[in-house]
Amino acid sequence: MLTLTEEATTAVKTITAQIPDAPQGGVRIEGAGSPESQFALSVVDAPEPSDTVVESAGARVFLDGDAAAVLDDRVLDAQIDPEQGSVQFAVTTAA
């Protein structure tokens, strides 16, 4: 199953804190069918019924079927730019 680094956990919690009316919210990842493909990320107030839910220290990530299959043994990492406040996510292989 997808795991989150400490940085990714912090980034997801920071992003989802911007939707305070959705306590079950998280970041949803939609896959394109292969590890080399781009993934679409969105902030949602709840998972879709068929989503796989990954939780890490209060951070919630929802994976559609394609993303769950492709990211099963991967690690989600993040880099936060403190000056611009932007976040860049990256998927790596598990150690």
Ordered by start, the domain boundaries in the chain are: 3-93
Q: Cα Rg for the chain, rounded, in angstroms?
A: 12
Q: According to the model, what pLDDT value does residue 33 have?
A: 63
Residue 73, Ramachandran bin (φ over 0: left; ψ between -120 and 50: alpha; else beta): alpha
Q: What confidence score (pLDDT) does residue 22 get?
A: 74
**What was the pLDDT predicted at 27?**
94
Q: Residue 28 and residue 84: Cα distance in Å, rounded?
A: 23
Residue 4: half-sphere exposure toward Cβ, Cα within 13 Å:
23
pLDDT in tens, the chain (95 residues): 899 999 999 999 988 988 877 778 899 999 766 656 678 899 999 999 999 999 999 999 999 998 998 888 899 999 988 788 788 998 888 76
What pTM was estimated for this model as a whole?
A: 0.88
The CA distance from 49 to 38, in Å, is 23
Q: What would the CATH number be for the domain defined by 3-93?
A: 2.60.300.12
